[in-house]
Amino acid sequence: MVLLKQSKTDLKKEIAILQKYGIKSCGMPSRRIDTHGRDLRFRIASPAALDVPFLMTYFSVDPKPVDFVHPNGITEISKVVYGTDPARFTLIKELCDDERLELEAGNGIEVEFENKMG
């Protein structure tokens, strides 16, 4: 399962895009408590088409520490290659304009990371 995270507080635009392509979805509010006791609220939308990533708004509170570097040196995701049916490329690009997302024909997911340790 793949997630496309959106930087806003609702998914109305994305649900309309799914509907434009004839894809039904169900959405709902969700929440979790992080390790610091903060109540992180967000919304999700799950497309009925299993080859389309599910969607999530950003958290109500940014849970990431500023300038965080993971102990293994990773600072961020630099590229995600998502394998799917080429017929879905236009839809997925319309849902997510993040330049780090690359689409290719096939199956599977590859992720590349930015590593501060080289």
At 37-90, the pLDDT tens digits run: 999 999 999 999 999 999 999 888 888 777 777 888 888 899 999 999 999 999
- What's residue 62's pLDDT? 84
Range of the domain at 67: 3-115
What is the enclosing helix (H) or strand (E) of 95?
A: helix 89-95
Residues 43, 35 contacting (CB under 8 angstroms): no
| Cα Dmax for the chain | 45
Tokens standing for residue 78: 């630099």
In whole angstroms, give the CA distance from residue 71 to residue 96.
Answer: 29
Name the DSSP letter for residue 67. T
Segment 99-117 shows an average pLDDT of 92
At 2-42, the pLDDT tens digits run: 566 666 788 999 999 999 999 999 999 999 999 889 999 99
Residues 12, 19 contacting (CB under 8 angstroms): no
As for how many domains the chain has, the answer is 1
In whole angstroms, give the CA distance from residue 68 to residue 16.
Answer: 35
